Structure 1
Amino acid sequence: MPTPSQPTGDERRPRAMVIDHAWHGLGPGLESLSGPLGAPLTRTVKLIVLPLIVRPALRPELAADFLGPAQVASLDGLIRESGTRLAATAQWFTLLKRTRRALGIVAGNPQDLYFQRCFELATEHGAPAAGADATARAVVEDVADTVDGRTVEALKDHLADAVRRLRLDAKLAAAWERRDPAPSDATAAVALAAEVLEACGAPGPARNSPQYVSMVEAGHGGLFGRALWTHASGVWGHEDLPTHLGLTARQVPQRPEVGRGASTATLPAPLDRTLFERLFVVLQSSARREELPTVPELVKQEAGRSCAPLGLCDESLRVAVVLGGRLAVGLDPLGTGEGAPGRTAAHRAVNSRWRREASALRARRMTVSPRPDPDGGVLDALAQDLRTPWAAYMRRLWVRLHGRDVRDAPLEDLDAAWAVLDGVARSVMMDHRARVRSALRTLSAAPARPAEQRSA
């Protein structure tokens, strides 16, 4: 497995920046695939640019986060060569959304449901022409039929039945009582996780890492999950860090409830979520719902999964939680603990990339400034995120692993595990970058305070 990517010189450029620059060079006609400032939407990159144009699986030299000059030219060329097809994709998407409204269909996110279909239509037909309305209607109806029974609305209807809710609650209670909360030693799992993370930074392939295989075969993920049920402490070498690293707001996870609703803005910690909230996230975030079981089967499986160690059934995914926790407690975007004991090659790679974020360096200095916060607490909150990055990391990691568990997609080797662990780190970093920029824009737009107020 290649070393976790990071810039090694001025000649290397972030892949995201290359995509953004090439996208802006395509000109008008891409508005329905772009954000307010003309950059490609996150879903455009995730669902169209990377899997259908760049295709990193076939072009591994373009899979890194930072690209050399030759790779930059190759990626730029791929996107620019696809300009006509992307413009046609945007036109098809506009037509499919209009057709969807005319048919009164409201379930699902149109971008998730139609982006890839629109690219396929653009590849096959070019821009919409004669007969496009009939084609659009057929596609919208086909997608609606495919995802039927796999929507949040279907989940609400399924759990609205009082008798079914009582049976499901009894099933949850029985599964929770069958747990084995015997005290477990999570320290050994964490120690082995450090060896695995060191292998992630070593040169050469690491897919056959004996430490990773050993962790999965010995059930170290399950042992760690059972340790959370017994309020274990001190496993990370820092007494002030909870063993669960924010996966629950309680000392130990409680038996999950059935639940009746969910809101993205108010979702609790992963292990505190109701059955409804767990499946709500899966249904909301799934780009290809046809790959999911139907709602009754989803509910049936989730009842057992929610009472399993770490709320996951697959052992390789549980091991990924342990690896992610070991990585998370060593995240240091501020560079305050460089050279601290216990840092692995994976830590050095991720921390170096985070600290080299040129666009956020000034903002980070502001977040740790002792001066009074002029915007009423936004910078204080950002500073706290930087001091405890493990909280956001573990929450996002669990959601991704849960999605894989629902789809029966284990992490077959260390390559696959590292791709998830590193991907979550990049995601958290980019999210924080966006929040910092937003805070700075707000501050710069605010009227200056009178001198007497500032000196008071």
Structure 2
Amino acid sequence: MQRMVRAEVIDGAWRRLGPGVESLSTQDGGPLSRTVKLVVVPLVLRPSARRELAAAVIGPAQAALIEQLIGQDRERLIHTAGWLDALLARPESEQVGRDRCYPTAYALATTHGEPRPSTAEPVAQEALMDLLAERGAVSTAAVRAVAADPRQAARLSATLDRRWSDHPTPDPVEESAVQAWASAVLEGWVPGGARPRPEATKRAEQAWSALIDGGVGTHTGAALRADTWPQEAAPVARPRRLGLTEQIRVACPTLDTPERTTAPRPWDRSIVERVLVMLQHTSDRSGLPAAHDLLADEVDRASGAWQLGVEPTRVVMVLGTVLALGLDGAAPADTQAHRIVAGMRRRESWLARAQRQPDTPAGHTVTDDVTDPVAPYLRRLWTRLHGSEHRGTVPADPQEGRTLLIGVARSVLMDGRSRVRAALLRRQEGRG
């Protein structure tokens, strides 16, 4: 029986819709990744109700059904494109987040049909204001109150245990293909002011699509949880080597823990801690859901691959891992992004000073945690991506992903510079 990639079937069916869906499409006529993720899969195909459409690889019967469902929904999808334009034209959409506007546009197309010039603007504004009112400005106190309520905490904990146990067995990861795609994306980086490289940019875009459509973030995340990826990392406790946990094996997080004096690694944080960390770094909380929904969303996220919720952020973690391991000498490192970050590190004279620190507890901590290009980098990258999911600012293309990767590298270097200076000062004062 012939097998087909679901993403390719969706792409072909979308292109046959014809004109009218440009706002939901790429320049060459295919569906945007956000369109697929937020509209086509959850709202048109509805794999939660049609389990046969949930797989990444499908048979002819499922392919025919996908083409039928997308074709039948052509008129509503055209109206969805119109409503998306109306929503994004409103300033309130920036607070709501672009990702929330896509399913809202589909809902407006379902209830109102075609957006009319005389009513589209007030209807769009009302929908956005309703979203803001529903979500409100969630507080840390509200989050703690939900976790402290026995009935709500019991339900959330039961859901967490169930979702964690339902985690699928990982498919084998084709290491060479992952490395090739990741390298193509990392090579496509064009620094500000540099001359564009069209061929490298095109290869990066194709590789990004291959990583997303192939579910590489999901597969590698599942393999990492099973301690079978990446091969370049130590063969035991890979998640620990990547700085994501102190545990030898990835463990199910708890809903809440007593207050701690030191910050745990990202995957060792409880669900409540993850939400509180995100809130501490979010100045505008008007687009966030209520406290219970925020915790419920985090339960779902923590049970997924890389303990993240969507494929683009998982793919950026794969890219970050390839970048970091390359800088550590454990993997190929001949890409533009590797060269840029390696150059940044060479210009930091404090790295050499940190490596000359004596093997005392203080010196050991500085040398291991500051000069290591892997663990501190991937910890911060995960935290940034986790926050981006909550704020609806997930990287949507390879350039956004690379910009985040380089920005995190710069941030880690600046933090390391401060830590080395503090360690040297403590040593001079006889406290290190």
TM range, normalised to the smaller chain?
0.5 to 0.7
1:376-406 CA distance string (max 9 Å, x none): 5323322113442211001100001001112
Cα distance in structure 1, aligned partners of 2:255 and 2:190: 42
Partner Cα separation in structure 2 for residue 342 and residue 238 of structure 1: 18
Q: Gaps (5+ residues) in structure 1?
A: 1-144, 448-456
One-letter code of the match for 2:213?
E
Worse-superposed segment, 254-263 or 151-160: 254-263
Counterpart pick for 2:379 among 389, 395, 402: 395
Aligned partner of 2:156 in structure 1 is 168
Aligned-pair CA distance for 1:210: 0.8
Structure 1 residue identity aligned to 2:196: G
1:204 aligns with 2:191: no
Residue 190 of structure 1 contacts residue 236 of structure 1 at CA under 8 Å; is this kept in 2? no
Provide the rounded CA distance (Å) in 2 between the counterparts of 1:306 and 1:341. 30
TM-score (norm 1): 0.58
Q: How does 1:224-373 map to 2 (within 5 A)?
A: 224-233=220-229, 235-236=231-232, 239=235, 242=238, 245-263=242-260, 265-331=261-327, 341-357=332-348, 361=349, 363-369=350-356, 372=358
Counterpart CA distance in 2 for 1:146 and 1:218 is 35
Q: Residues of 1 paired with 2:257 and 2:185: CA distance?
A: 41
**8 Å CA contact retained: 1:169, 1:258:** yes
Residue in 2 that maps onto 1:410: 394
Q: Which range moved further: 159-168 or 315-324?
A: 159-168
Q: What do residues 238-281 of structure 1 show as CA deviations (whole Å, max 9, x unaligned)?
A: 65782561212223322222114544x52322122211111111
CA distance in structure 2 between the partners assigned to 1:404 and 1:319 by the alignment: 14
CA distance in 2, matches of 1:294, 1:186: 40
CA–CA separation in structure 1 for the residues paired with 2:163 and 2:369: 36
Aligned residues: 290
Q: Give distance in 2, aligned partners of 1:212 and 1:365.
A: 35
Amino acid at match of 2:144: K
Match of 1:17 in 2: none
Instruction: Tell me how large the CA RMSD over aligned residues is.
Output: 2.9
Give the TM-score taking structure 2 as reference length: 0.61
- CA shift for structure 1 position 292: 1.6
**CA distance in 1: counterparts of 2:333 and 2:411, whole angstroms:** 24
Provide the C-alpha distance between the structure 2 equivalents of 1:446 and 1:174, rounded to a whole number of angstroms.
Answer: 52
Per-residue Cα deviation, 1:358-393 (whole angstroms, up to 9, x for no partner) = xxx2x4333333x745xx532332211344221100
SS in 2 for 1:441: helix
Gaps of 5+ in 2: 1-132
Cα deviation for residue 425 of structure 1 reads 0.2
Q: Structure 1 CA distance, aligned partners of 2:263 and 2:255? A: 15
Determine if contact 1:350/1:425 at 8 Å carries over to the other structure: yes
Which residue of structure 2 aligns with residue 151 of structure 1? 139
Q: Is the partner of 1:184 in helix, strand or coil?
A: coil
Mapped partners of 2:286, 2:207: distance in 1: 36
Seen in structure 2, the aligned counterparts of structure 1 residues 241 and 367 have a Cα distance that, compared at 3 Å, is farther
Is contact 1:189-1:221 (8 Å) kept?
no
